[in-house]
Amino acid sequence: MSRRVKKPLKARGDRPKGARPYRGSKAERPHAYRPGGKPTARAQASRAEKPAPFIAEPEKIAAEPPPLPTKVQTVVVTADENNMRVDRFLEARFPGLSFSHIQRVVRKGELRVNGKRADSKDRLEEGQSVRIPPLKLDAPKATGHLSEAGAKTLQALKEMILFEDADVMVLNKPAGLAVQGGSGTTRHIDQMLEVMRDAKGQKPRLVHRLDKETAGCLLVAKTRFAATALTGSFRHRSARKIYWALVAGVPKPKQGRISTYLAKEEGEEDTIMRIAAHGDEGASHAVTYYAVVETSAQKLAWVSLKPVTGRTHQLRAHMAHIDHAIVGDPKYFNKENWQLPGGLQNRLHLLARRIVIPHPRGGFIDATAPLPAHMLQSWNLLGLEADRFDPIENAPEE
């Protein structure tokens, strides 16, 4: 479902660092505040009131972003772009580019960093000089009827839509469907969006990503204007994201903050994010707030997660770091001799539950995704009540 709200999720003031509770005083808590408890009748009545659907505010319409460069140009990496991957840098600077075009430009060596060839996964540093070749949008495809396969793809996308207007879509991405292509990946969201190209040849653009096995809210820009605005919101951390997960054991304290550095570790067959020290090569600071919503004995816990930063595999690595790995995680579940309770599927139990982000033309987009089938089955088997009050909304934003 989606709705419009007047304000984004609000911070509740500064809190001490470390995995400490952030409950705050009684005065700060909503009437329904009971970790693991149900909302009060008053809170339920308040939540039952449905806000008006999103309506764009025309007076706030901004100009379209400048056209793509038609000749070679050199730009300097800003502080906001420090440690950004080369391909993400191009996406942020030029939202109109397709993923395949970005990879092609980098692969051919047409993009240079301080005069040297760069790989799409290389990290940029503030002050570096980036040579950018002439760029262009993919050529418009001839208009006509979609093929049978294209029509099925379009219908599949429409069935995923949680929110849509002229500028933005929020999709409910299924678990198991990749967001972008990779080795051995032939079907993914970015490829599926080809069937939604407009008359000018522009297709909707991804502005953030989810892991292949993570289900839930995925934001897509339908115009270059929206892509520029939404990418800026993510870069400046104006987007608020809430995830739900089922983890092994019950975290203590039941509400807290995880703050570490994460760095990529390349293995022979796989790549994971490891906990790193400040100053390690490629290490980035990562902050996550968590809250236990409900437990199943002391073996499993439903936790709500609010990432402040957006590092690769951040939530999965952080929960494993505090010894409460996410159930079904093939990369980070590290508990020996741990048996999956009967009836639960051995699949990643992680949902991008909610996203709140400023709309490019005013107001806020607020979309919520339902539990995917395998998680709903687990909730039912464990007797977890999906309508419980979620205390993570009281977590700070920093």
Catalytic residues: 211
Nearest to 237 by CA among 79, 92, 397: 397
On whether the CB atoms of residues 386 and 379 are closer than 8 A, the answer is yes
In a 10 Å sphere around its CB, with 0-12 CB exposed, 13-18 middle and 19+ buried, how is residue 51 labelled?
Answer: exposed
CA dist 101 and 135 (Å) reads 9
**What does the alpha-carbon distance between residue 368 and residue 356 come to, in Å, rounded to a whole number?**
9
List, as one string, the DSSP characters of 257-273: EEEEEEEEEE-SS-EEE
Radius of gyration from C-alpha coordinates of the chain = 22
Buried b (16+ CB within 10 A) or exposed e, 335-348: eeeeeeeeebeebb
Q: Is 89 helix (H, G, I), strand (E, B) or coil?
A: helix
One-letter amino acid for residue 357 of the chain: I
CA atoms within 13 A on the CB side of 183: 2
Say how far apart CA 366 and CA 200 lie, in whole Å. 29
Give me the residue label for tokens 């995923």: 160
